[in-house]
Structure 1
Amino acid sequence: MPEALKSKPRHMYSIKLKRSLYGLKQSGRMWYNRLSEYLIKKGFCHNQISPCLFIKRTESGFVIIAVYVDDLNIIGSPEEIRQAADYLKSEFEMKDLGTTKYCLGLQFEHTKGGIFIHQSNYIEKVLKRFHMNNAHPLSTPMVVRSLDVNKDPFRPPTHNNEILGPEVPYLSAIGALMYLANNTRPDIAFSVNLLARYSSTPTKRHWNGVKHILRYLRGTSDMGLYFERHENAKATNLVGYSDAGYLSDPHKAISQSGYVFMYGGTAISWRSTKQTLVATSSNHAELIALYEAGRECVWLRSLIHYVCESCGLEPIEKSPTVIYEDNTACIA
């Protein structure tokens, strides 16, 4: 600190920074601008569809750099990966960890037939954190709900129910489960979404529902997503599935939307959420869900076409993507 400022009261002076420091609100954006400017100078391209995906096509192949803040995953042939790493090392301080085996809580197992992505280590940490590592495992992520709204284990709290205090880590558990549901475990997406609605007023019933999911995870900690290697590009077409649960929340007369998109036989995008509109019929609820699935489909198709075109790969078929729907009125 300059000597002239030490004699003044602390609230009467300020210091202008010459560069952004770690932790400032603008640091993330300035780092992204710095990195993208350098990669574009080296021949990489990106667009608004996925601004954190940088692609460079060369005579011998292609290289893709996926950016998450300061964590970078490089995809391509060994020679292209080495050159991209050299580019980055020449400009930034970088630690090369080799083949990606662990990133952002996700584990990657590479085999001759494909890549298996799971979060078994993360699940074990979550179970220990909430003292459920020795609990009896269960085969389903939630209990069967009663048709009687007064007996529904997930009904809203009443004046007779005691709201759990901060000593019960309900919000922490919901956050941990949401991270799993959003990354590698679509099978718990619905139950986590349902219990997250009571984050402000959880009761013992809802906490038991959280522990039920944790018991289910203990018995299925080795489950994940397996992306199989396909020699034929036609085997990797995009396929979608859409569904809705009419009045799945009978207490507020709200329905549930859900969809999943498969690429090469593996889920790449999914969602389970409460609808914001009151559906007047089952086909109305299905139309709302299908609309949300259609929006996601447009973005996924744009992303896949962009990656294939930038890498010089065979794109997916120009024909419309099939989204399967089980409601006749909605299909008509």
Structure 2
Amino acid sequence: MRQAGRCWWLFLSEILTRMGFAAMEVDQSLYIFCNGMDTIAIWIHVDDGVVASNSPSAVADFKRQLCAEVDIKWHDTICQIVGLEWAFGEGEVAIAQRRLTKSILKAYPRPIVKSNCPLPVLPTPGMTVEGETLEPTPFRSVIGSLAYLVSGSLPDLAFAVNYLARHSMAPTKTHWCILDHVVGYLLMTQHHQLVMRPGKVSLNLWSDTGWGGDLERSQTGFMLKLGDAPILWSSKWQGVVALSTCAAEYVALLDSTQHLVQAISQLECLTQFFDKTIFCDNQAAVRVLIDNLLRKHMRYLGRAFFFVNDAIPGYPVLVRGWVTVRVFGGVLSFGHHIDATTKYFVLEKTQL
């Protein structure tokens, strides 16, 4: 029984290979089929999948061949997959997780504090909160459910959930009060959703860090957007201690650029012409990124952290700097909003 999942994957992979599909090297769950101008992309998750194509006739032919091999349930539109609920409107697609959200709100064991901000005013994030340790199981249960929400459709809660998850082994009354605030924000925004609309195909990466806001390590926050729609985001501790704001921003660029390169590899299977842009709000980090001679000032980071310098020349990526943070990286790395107009500074060099 332990090998059942692997046996199913090998069986399905063999069928798709015979049909002319090829699994992507960077993502073995994504299969691509190309025949002239017809392209089919299939994403597989265990025994569920999503089929996308620019040719209805190619999809009909694929469906006929697949039905001859296995018994399948075919739906012309996506309603729900891996907990994500899809809604199709006029010229847009909306993604939400309302069922899980309602389940969290209904099962929450404490009074909910309604809030329009993900976090209350906190002391230094890295400050250890003293107090009696409470039973961790209910706390971890709520944090785990919130973490799944964050990974699917709630980037604005990424920092808050990541911060509380660090204390999930020994939560105190203070941590529970902060969690009340987070769940209250979820209550106020339960009808929000991610909306995707057709437009120019482009990949925009927003990277930021909160250096000095923690006594141990800096916080990395990034968001990757396809056109105007966020498709990937993260907020987490950095894996190394940075000695300056420049180094902290550069480490954040390393973490985020790896995801950008993977997204480029996936998207290039479907279209060859799209813009790729990296936004960073630290001019010193941008200079290090585009000039290898400046890396000597951060030798202590190790060779692995200079992946971003080696990756940029291999892709036509435009690197831009931004001075102020409003929603994107600031929410993920600092945990608060800054109402300001975004301004850009001129770069010394652009690698094309």
Q: How would you bin the TM-score normalised by the shorter chain?
A: 0.7 to 0.9
Work out the CA distance in 1 between the residues paired with 2:284 and 2:213: 19
Q: Identity across aligned pairs (percent)?
A: 30
Which residue, out of 242, 264, 283, partners 1:301? 264
Q: Where does residue 137 of structure 1 map in the other structure?
A: 114
> Are residue 315 (structure 1) and residue 273 (structure 2) matched?
yes
TM-score scaled by length of structure 1? 0.80
CA shift for structure 1 position 143: 0.9
CA shift for structure 1 position 85: 2.6
- The within-5 A match list for 1:87-236 is 87-131=65-109, 135-146=112-123, 149=124, 155-158=127-130, 161-166=131-136, 169-230=138-199, 235-236=200-201
TM-score scaled by length of structure 2? 0.76
Q: Where does residue 331 of structure 1 map in the other structure?
A: 286
User: How many residue pairs align between the two structures?
Assistant: 286
Q: Which amino acid aligns with 1:224?
A: Q
Which residue, out of 243, 264, 267, partners 2:227? 264
Which residue, out of 209, 217, 232, partners 1:254? 217
1:206-263 per-position Cα deviation (integer Å, ceiling 9, x unaligned): 1222221111011111222111012xxxx2211111111012223xx31101111111
Work out the CA distance in 2 between the residues paired with 1:75 and 1:143: 42
CA contact (8 A) 2:114 2:188 kept: yes
1:34-63 per-position Cα deviation (integer Å, ceiling 9, x unaligned): 101101101112221121111223457332
Q: Which amino acid aligns with 1:29?
A: R
User: Secondary structure at 2:212's aligned position in 1?
Assistant: strand
The structure that has the greater radius of gyration is 1
Q: Where does residue 277 of structure 1 map in the other structure?
A: 240
Q: Which amino acid aligns with 2:89?
A: T
> Are residue 292 (structure 1) and residue 247 (structure 2) matched?
no
Work out the CA distance in 2 between the residues paired with 1:186 and 1:323: 19
Work out the CA distance in 2 between the residues paired with 1:302 and 1:60: 19
Structure 2 unaligned runs (5+)? 288-352
- CA-atom RMSD, angstroms? 2.0
CA shift for structure 1 position 78: 3.7
1:15-51 per-position Cα deviation (integer Å, ceiling 9, x unaligned): xxxxxxxxx2222121111101101101112221121
Q: Which runs of 4+ in 1 moved over 4 A?
A: none
CA contact (8 A) 2:113 2:181 kept: no
